[in-house]
Amino acid sequence: MATATDTTDTSPDERVPGETGMWFFVLFESLIFTSYFCVYLYFRTQDEGAFLEAQSALRLPLGIVDTIVLLTSSWAIARSVQEARAGRPAAARRLAFVTIGLGAAFSALKLVEWAHLIGDGHTFTSSDFMQHYFFLTGMHAVHLLIGLVALGILVHQLADPHRRSQETIETCATYWHTVDLYWVLIFAVLYIVR
Amino acid sequence: MATTSTETTTSTSSRLRTFVAWLLLVAVTVIYLGIDHSADDGGTLVASTAVTVSAVLLALVKVRIIMRELMDVRHAPPFLRRLTDLLVAVIGVSLLATYFVGQAIA
Amino acid sequence: MSIVSNLRADPKRELWFAWYSTVAFYSLYSVVFFGLTRTQPPGKPWLEPEQTVEWFAGRQDGLLVGFALIFVLGGWSATAIALIAYSIRRMSVSRAFAYSYLVLYLIAAVPGFLFICVAMTVGAMRPERSPEAQQWLYDLGFLSFSGTMGVFLVGSLIWMTAILLDKNRVFPRWFGYLNLCNALTEVVIAPSWIFQRGVLAWDGVIAWWIDVAVFGTYTGVFIYLLREVIVRDDFGRGPLPDAPPGRPRRWHPLAKVVR
């Protein structure tokens, strides 16, 4: 198990992970998403019956799987950053590819879920709940696509020792974590909240 | 940027910690299954303040774990740690306040 | 030193003129759209013809006077766009970024800005026009205003990319990311034509109110940052120096020229 010298992590203390500017984005965008959630919650309380009825079309197991996929992708990219910091770029790249794969898997699951809902007659305009559902999951999907670009930049950084920058790698990873973060909130608010 | 020779021992503890964080997050996610079924009337969805509040609180717990452990805020300067905690509080207060105010108005 | 000799001597006088014009233009825009014409916040979508006639009647004088001001002074918006394009050219990235931004915004200004002015003025001009025609003008005005957001969205992304690639530190990197936030909120307005009511309609809480809050913040921030760029500018090609400490807070016509 742990040795006597095993008291510290490789990450030096008191460092901002990645660029400070990216954390500004995380905070600001989180506030914007929170405002979207508040709008949803408010309108939900004004028309609970209709919202509940439309919400029953969602399948919880699928939502749970979606959440676990993204949580795992966050785990993978966090590990990738650790490996990069420890000077093991090859391992970091493998984990970054795992993250990309999980992101792609989530997108596929989302498309399947949307297709099923639309097939059952639940579209963007069929009900207020579905309007919020497709809007929130759609915005999240846009964030995810941008996240895949960020991961691509991260992988590109890892490929060449001359252009590798730990700060850029951590910045891209921080962005990816927001994709997971917002999904955690979306899942709770759309799938569970009654 | 020199790599240290302690990397094999030090990264084991951070690897384990990251894995435990993931495990905890998945466990909290699975708890949702229980919460979700508790309020429903055999397939029909039923409105429930208890479910709503616990859903939001659990989400906040997950958000904080993701930020602290996976996004490495644990090792960030105090201003960022406090700022992210403040964010979690703002999200929680906003969501719950909107819900309760909306309920009162309806 | 007289004002005139100061003006002649200051190499940044055109930049300062452009900046003050930017402030003046956005102020004019706010007063006209929100105060005089009351076209912002927008009217409800999917109004019946008779309702649109009422809408025009309630704002007739404001529409005519307000948009007349825009027709005369609207060209002033060019200075804001030009200043931003100048700041992008000062970056280490390809000039293509600055030119794309310029072209994009100039193209977007016609449908995104002038259409609503023309449509609403035409509607206010002849109140006795048929209600169906008034409804048509109403829809055209508001839809062109919101439906063209996609163009501005791309503009934000161009500016963001330029900032993140820039090695001359013209803008702080967090502003690059703020461009991304702005672009993302603009995504939501484009499909507003689908919704007759609700949060995503062109007057909706999400499509208008939250979006304007973000856009307003973004505009205030970039006006401030453009000022910083002008203060720091050394007309070179390399990284922009930091602002000198204790500099005069405003360009004053009687202040000594600092160069």
Predicted confidence band at B3 (pLDDT cuts at 50, 70, 90)? very low
In this prediction, residue C258 carries a pLDDT of 44
Q: What ipTM was estimated for this complex? A: 0.89
In this prediction, residue C247 carries a pLDDT of 57
Residue C249, helix vs strand vs coil = coil
Asked whether the predicted pLDDT for residue A6 surpasses 60, the reply is no
Locate the chain C residue with the closest alpha carbon to A135: C188
Domain housing B43: 7-105
**In chain A, what residues touch B25 (CB-CB under 8 Å)?**
71
B35 vs B97, residue with greater confidence? B97
Q: How far is the alpha carbon of B79 from chain A, nearest alpha carbon, in Å?
A: 10
Rounded Cα–Cα distance for residues C111 and C151 (Å): 10
CB contact under 8 A, C184 and A143: yes
Q: Which whole number is the average pLDDT over C187-194? A: 82
Bond preceding residue A89 cis, omega within 30 of 0: no
Asked whether the predicted pLDDT for residue C250 surpasses 70, the reply is no
Q: How far is the alpha carbon of A101 from chain C, nearest alpha carbon, in Å?
A: 24
Task: Return all residues near A153 (Cβ < 8 A) that are at least 6 apart.
Answer: A168, A172
| C241 assigned to some structural domain | no
Question: Which of B90-104, C72-86, C143-157, C169-183 is the least confident region?
Answer: C143-157
pLDDT tens column, A115-148: 999 999 999 889 999 999 999 999 999 999 999 9
In this prediction, residue A9 carries a pLDDT of 45
What long-range pairs does C26-31 form, CB within 8 A, spacing at least 24?
C26/C80, C26/C219, C26/C223, C28/C69, C28/C70, C28/C73, C28/C76, C29/C70, C29/C77
Q: CB neighbours (10 Å) of residue C66?
A: 25
**In chain A, what residues touch C185 (CB-CB under 8 Å)?**
32
Choose, out of C174, C203, C211, C218, the residue to mutate when testing the contact with A (most A CBs < 10 Å): C174
List phi, psi (to 5°) of A121: 95, 5
In this prediction, residue A3 carries a pLDDT of 43
Q: How far is the alpha carbon of C215 from chain A, nearest alpha carbon, in Å?
A: 12
In this prediction, residue A151 carries a pLDDT of 97
Chains A, C: CB contacts within 8 A come to: 58
- Maximum C-alpha span of chain A: 62
**In chain B, what residues touch A44 (CB-CB under 8 Å)?**
102
Q: What is the mean pLDDT of chain B?
A: 87
pLDDT tens column, C34-68: 999 999 999 999 899 999 999 999 999 999 999 99
Q: Given C174, C194, C206, which is nearest A39 (Cβ)?
A: C206
CB contact under 8 A, C178 and A24: yes
Among C79-93, C108-122, C190-204, top mean pLDDT goes to C79-93
Q: What is the mean pLDDT of chain C?
A: 89
Q: How far is the alpha carbon of C142 from chain A, nearest alpha carbon, in Å?
A: 20
Q: Given B13, B80, B105, which is nearest A2 (Cβ)?
A: B13
CB contact under 8 A, A45 and B102: yes
Q: Which whole number is the average pLDDT over B72-80? A: 94
CB contact under 8 A, A20 and C174: yes
In this prediction, residue A164 carries a pLDDT of 83
**In chain B, what residues touch A73 (CB-CB under 8 Å)?**
none
When divided into structural domains, chain B yields a total of 1
Q: Which whole number is the average pLDDT over B83-91? A: 97
CB contact under 8 A, A86 and B90: no
Choose, out of B71, B84, B99, the residue to mutate when testing the contact with A (most A CBs < 10 Å): B71
| C34 assigned to some structural domain | yes
C1 vs B49, residue with greater confidence? B49
Rounded Cα–Cα distance for residues B33 and A13 (Å): 38
Asked whether the predicted pLDDT for residue A4 surpasses 90, the reply is no
Asked whether the predicted pLDDT for residue C74 surpasses 90, the reply is no
**In chain A, what residues touch B48 (CB-CB under 8 Å)?**
194
| C46 assigned to some structural domain | yes
Contact A32, C206 (CB under 8 A): no
In this prediction, residue A162 carries a pLDDT of 81
Domain housing C201: 3-232
Q: Which whole number is the average pLDDT over B76-95? A: 97
In this prediction, residue A10 carries a pLDDT of 45
In this prediction, residue C55 carries a pLDDT of 96
When divided into structural domains, chain C yields a total of 1
Q: Given A25, A36, A39, which is nearest C181 (Cβ)?
A: A25
Q: Which whole number is the average pLDDT over C64-81? A: 90
pLDDT tens column, A141-184: 999 999 999 999 999 999 988 878 999 999 999 999 999 999 99
SS3 content of chain C, % helix, strand, coil (to 5): 70, 0, 30
Q: How far is the alpha carbon of A162 from chain B, nearest alpha carbon, in Å?
A: 12
pLDDT tens column, A19-35: 999 999 999 999 999 99
Predicted confidence band at B42 (pLDDT cuts at 50, 70, 90)? low
**Interchain touch C–A (≥3 Cβ pairs closer than 8 Å):** yes
Predicted confidence band at C199 (pLDDT cuts at 50, 70, 90)? very high
Asked whether the predicted pLDDT for residue B41 surpasses 80, the reply is no
Locate the chain A residue with the closest alpha carbon to C185: A32
Choose, out of A16, A20, A27, A39, the residue to mutate when testing the contact with C (most C CBs < 10 Å): A39
Rounded Cα–Cα distance for residues B45 and C84 (Å): 53
**Interchain touch A–B (≥3 Cβ pairs closer than 8 Å):** yes
| Binding partners of A (≥3 Cβ pairs within 8 A) | B, C
Q: How far is the alpha carbon of C206 from chain A, nearest alpha carbon, in Å?
A: 7
Q: Which whole number is the average pLDDT over A45-57? A: 93
| Binding partners of C (≥3 Cβ pairs within 8 A) | A
Q: What is the mean pLDDT of chain A?
A: 92
Rounded Cα–Cα distance for residues A62 and A22 (Å): 31
Predicted confidence band at C255 (pLDDT cuts at 50, 70, 90)? very low
| C47 assigned to some structural domain | yes
Predicted confidence band at C116 (pLDDT cuts at 50, 70, 90)? very high
CB contact under 8 A, A139 and C188: yes
**In chain A, what residues touch B11 (CB-CB under 8 Å)?**
9-10, 82-83, 86
Task: Return all residues near C12 (Cβ < 8 A) that are at least 6 apart.
Answer: C230, C233, C251
In this prediction, residue A7 carries a pLDDT of 42
In this prediction, residue A1 carries a pLDDT of 44
Locate the chain A residue with the closest alpha carbon to B5: A86
Asked whether the predicted pLDDT for residue A66 surpasses 70, the reply is yes
Every domain of chain A and the residues it spans: 54-192
Q: Say whether domain A54-192 belongs to CATH 1.10.150.120.
A: no
**In chain A, what residues touch B47 (CB-CB under 8 Å)?**
48, 52, 194
Take residue A45 and report the two structure tokens written for it. Answer: 């309380």
Rounded Cα–Cα distance for residues A82 and A163 (Å): 18
| C197 assigned to some structural domain | yes
Chains A, B: CB contacts within 8 A come to: 181
